A and B are shown apart, each in its own frame.
Chain A
Amino acid sequence: MTDQPRKELVVSAIENGTVIDHIPSANVFQVMKILGLDKTENQVLFGTNLISRKYGSKGIIKVRNQFFEDREINKISLVAPNATLIVIKDFNIVEKRQVQVPDKIESMVKCFNPKCITNHEAIPTRFKVVDKEDLRLLCHYCEKITKKENVQFI
């Protein structure tokens, strides 16, 4: 490999905080909403339609002074299955990890079945993830499957 000059960062670096990389461009705002970044008081920088060697186009989010639990960050796997989480301290990368599709999804996705009780009474939805690759969610209540293409966020 030849030694390439370091390219200028499209979205500027942060001293302390979290970078979420490899988000599909179209889902950057969805990710912000899922993580509550639309309401945070911390500084949030983001970019969409950036060039990615792996995926063609990508989005990125940087949050100053905020760190996420696995349980929290894994929620975004539904809209950003290939996302990478990078933890920055003093401008250094101290941790890098992939998001994982969780085994259970609660209070996040609507059940696709219009006749499901969760669409009739104020009940937090609960799903078991029965297929992580192709994303198939089994409703704890009506026992019907909500497929990837039918996922709607609450």
Chain B
Amino acid sequence: MKNRSLVSITDFSREEYLQILDRAVEFEKNPNQRILQGKVVATLFFEPSTRTRLSFESAVNRLGGRVIGFSDASSSSTSKGESLKDTILTVSNYSDLIVMRHPIEGSARWASEVASVPVINAGDGANQHPTQCLLDLYTIRQTQGTLENLNIVFVGDLKYGRTVHSLVQALTNFNATFHFVSPTELKLPSSVKIYIKEKKLEYYQYTDINEAIQKADILYMTRIQRERFSDVMEYERVKNSYILNADMLNGTKNNLRILHPLPRVNEISTDVDSSPKAYYFQQALNGVFVRQALMASILGL
């Protein structure tokens, strides 16, 4: 992995992901290891994402490295019309690793081709967000003891949710059985189903969450946004059907854990928060450990 960029979830192999997850376990036990001393990590956020940025910067700081960068495009030279290429070439001179978030799809791949240092994609528009996927994998393994042979139920906006697409792609390496619960308009796209079919894995589709929830080892909730619907009436009709509340957890498996990429709006009622099956806040914390492990691996430390 040394000196390689991570742009898309398909860039690394199953074995490489497992190595990163194993390494993250070490950072969870002992988060403060000053192995990045003397290294500079640039965090270039062309669109604001406080949660992701703080997670990366916390990871760098706990490793003893330094952070340079900006937190939104208005404070970068892009606002003066500089091309992404020029910004990346310049920043390459000042840093050992670039972490980039950008609203334009494919920008991270382009940056990784231009930069003389490795690039980690922290989200490129609706395309990829591989470190979210890594932390999801880490959390699933942490709660289930394994990544193999699990029943994963995805709920909500499966059409536009990039975290869902990446996670489905990644889990096809681990013999998962997939259950997709969504309104008809927001079904998983066929471009993602291809990966499941290639591996000859099973998947089922539902419009009613109650039909799938009893089978779940992992329940992965996502938000449904009004602007995704071509028909507002349809949104009004379905919006409450994809909200999880504590009563719905009756009779579910003991090992069930509920994940959500956060921030949530109302798709998980607050009465779920106190359930031992709710795991979304711990999930977010894992982001720091997997990002530590990823950066250490890429920098060859």
Binding site for B on A (CB under 8 A): 111, 113, 115-118, 120-123, 139-145
Contact = CB atoms under 8 A, between A and B. Distances in A.
A119 B103 CA distance: 13
Contact of A142 (B85, B106, B191): B106
A122 B110 CA distance: 11
B109 A115 contact: no
Given A111-B106, A116-B106, 13 more contacts: A115-B104, A117-B106, A121-B85, A122-B83, A139-B106, A140-B109, A141-B109, A141-B110, A142-B106, A142-B124, A142-B125, A142-B127, A144-B105
Given A141-B110, A143-B127, A145-B191, A115 B105 contact: yes
Size category of the binding interface on chain B: 10 to 19
A121 B84 contact: yes
B126 interface: yes
B104 A120 contact: yes
Interface string B83-98: 1110000000000000
B151 interface: no
A92 B128 CA distance: 55
A141 B191 contact: no
Contact of A143 (B83, B85, B110, B128): B128
A37 B121 CA distance: 42
User: Which of B110, B124, B128 has the most C-beta atoms of chain A within 10 angstroms of its own C-beta?
Assistant: B110
Q: Which of B125, B127, B191 has the most CB of A within 10 A?
A: B127
Given A142-B127, A143-B8, A143-B127, A117 B105 contact: yes
Contacts of A117: 84, 104-107, 109-110
B191 A118 contact: no
Contacts, number: 46
A141 B126 CA distance: 12
11 contacts: A115-B104, A115-B125, A116-B104, A117-B104, A121-B85, A121-B110, A141-B106, A141-B107, A141-B110, A143-B106, A144-B127
Interface of B: 8, 83-85, 103-107, 109-110, 124-128, 191
Contacts of A142: 105-106, 124-125, 127
A132 to B, nearest CB: 16
Contacts of B191: 145
A145 B125 CA distance: 16
B7 to A, nearest CB: 9
Contact of B105 (A116, A121, A122, A123): A116
A121 B83 contact: yes
Contacts of A120: 104
Contacts of B105: 113, 115-117, 141-144
Contact of B106 (A118, A122, A145): A118
Nearest to A120: B104
A120 B103 CA distance: 11
Contacts of B109: 117, 140-141
A3 to B, nearest CB: 53
B44 to A, nearest CB: 14
Contacts of A121: 83-85, 110
A139 B107 CA distance: 12
A142 B107 CA distance: 8
A123 B103 CA distance: 17
B77 to A, nearest CB: 15
A115 B103 CA distance: 8
B205 to A, nearest CB: 21
Nearest to A125: B106
Contacts of B83: 121-122
A39 to B, nearest CB: 29
Given A115-B104, A141-B105, A123 B110 contact: yes
Nearest to B10: A143
Contacts of B103: 115
B129 to A, nearest CB: 12
Nearest to B110: A117
Contacts of A116: 104-106
Contacts of B125: 115, 142
